[in-house]
Amino acid sequence: MPSVLIAIPSNYFITRDPTPREKLEAAGWTVREVTGRAHTTEDGLIAALDGVDATVAGGEPYTRRVLSAATSLKHVARWGVGFDRVDLEAAADEGVLVTTTQGANDWGVADHAVALMLGLGHLLVSNHLAIMKDGWGSAIGDDLWRQKVGIVGLGRIGRGVAQRVHGFEAEILAYEPYPDRAFCERYGVRLVSAEELFSQSDYITLHLPLSPETRHFVNRERLALMKPTAFVVNTARGGLVDEEALYAALTSGQIAGAGLDVREHEPPTDRRFDALPNVILSPHTAGITHQTVSAMSHMAVDSILSGWRGESPHGLLNPRAWERRRPYEFSKRG
């Protein structure tokens, strides 16, 4: 009987919809769940993967060492779209399939990015906290309506943000090396250089994958280009932002504020941002709603069952692994 490790918290995997787990069990799979955070280290993950055929993976480290040691593992189904914690080359060498739930949470992240822009501009958190302390201030906020919104990266989420702020009649600027020009024309997106985007935008929202080329894309030099009234929002990957440079810009008044759903280290060890009144923080939950959780869980389970049946799964990131894939030793019913 094949087994799957649910490496994300069970309350995330199931929430209101138990059918992803039921789908696995109906197909004859044994479902294991992790407890605590021991599996977030290499040694802990190796121990958790002992005898496991597939995993619904969170942010734990699927390094070459882990993938080599986990000899029964055949499929890493990332619950989400990021894969910077998975060594794709090592997985391909070992014949371990790696998939993501592409298209399952785009709308939630786009909604959250716009919510952070509105929250920053309208001072929602600082006003709320002031009232909770028996205050009643008169601070003046900023509109999103008809402002310049700079979108860094026009993938599925970036395009979703563009669609939403188009309804605010925003002037939309975008930095995107490989743009969908028909989309840009439809939503009035003006393609610009990164430098022009940073210098002109009232709100900047990041939607790039993390790679060696994009690490610290938001750095001291680009922050220095921003207006002192401008805000930056990151719902993509924490490593896109040089946090030392951002903290300096926020505390010096170089920029007006920031909305951060992701951090360089998670959970963050740098707690300086917690005390800043011009920052809104959320715990990497932009793409986690009851609706997106259900969609991601179903997609991860479907990709595991497809690979088990010998069908190329949705969201396969390392096609070289397909011909080298480790064999299942069980009847493929279901």
Q: Please state, in angstroms and rounded to a whole number, the distance separating the CA atoms of residues 91 and 171.
A: 43
The proportion of the chain whose per-residue pLDDT surpasses 70, expressed as a percent, equals 99
In tens, the pLDDT along 160-195 reads 999 999 999 999 999 999 999 999 999 999 999 999
Asked whether residue 333 carries a pLDDT value surpassing 60, the answer given is no
Residue 12's pLDDT band (boundaries 50, 70, 90)? confident
Mark 20-29 as b/e (b = at least 16 C-beta within 10 Å): bbebbeebeb
pLDDT tier for residue 329 given thresholds of 50, 70 and 90? confident
Strand-pairing partners, residue 190, are 173
Task: With a cut of 90, say whether residue 116 has pLDDT above it.
Answer: yes
Each residue's pLDDT tens digit, 41-70: 999 999 999 999 999 999 899 999 999 999
The answer to whether 173 and 151 are in contact (CB under 8 A) is yes
Active-site residue list: 237, 266, 284
- Residue 68 Cα to chain centre, angstroms: 26
pLDDT, average across residues 245-253: 98
According to the model, what pLDDT value does residue 81 have?
Answer: 85
Average pLDDT, the chain: 95
Helices (runs of H) and strands (runs of E) counted in the chain? 14, 12
Q: Flag whether pLDDT at 13 surpasses 90.
A: no
Distance CA 125, CA 119 (A): 7
pLDDT > 80? residue 158: yes
C-alpha angle 119/127/275, rounded to 5°? 80
Residue 134 pLDDT more than 90?
Answer: no
Q: Which of 28, 11, 72 is nearest to 47 (CA)?
A: 72
Tell me the mean pLDDT in the region 108-135: 95
Q: Packing angle between helix 106-121 and helix 124-132, nearest 10 degrees?
A: 60
Residue 38 has pLDDT above 80, yes or no: no
Among the listed ranges 24-38, 59-73, 269-283, 292-306, which one has the minimum average pLDDT value? 24-38
Tell me if 5 sits within 8 A of 32, measured CB to CB.
Answer: yes
Mean pLDDT of 23-52: 93
The strand ranges marked E within 118-208 are 148-152, 171-175, 189-191, 203-206
Which residues are CB-contacts of 302 (< 8 A; sequence separation ≥ 6)? Answer: 23, 313, 314
Going by pLDDT thresholds of 50, 70 and 90, the confidence category of residue 100 is: very high
- Domains along the chain? 3-104+289-324 (3.40.50.720), 106-281 (3.40.50.720)
Q: How confident is the model at residue 334 (pLDDT cuts 50, 70, 90)?
A: very low
Tokens of 164: 């939403």
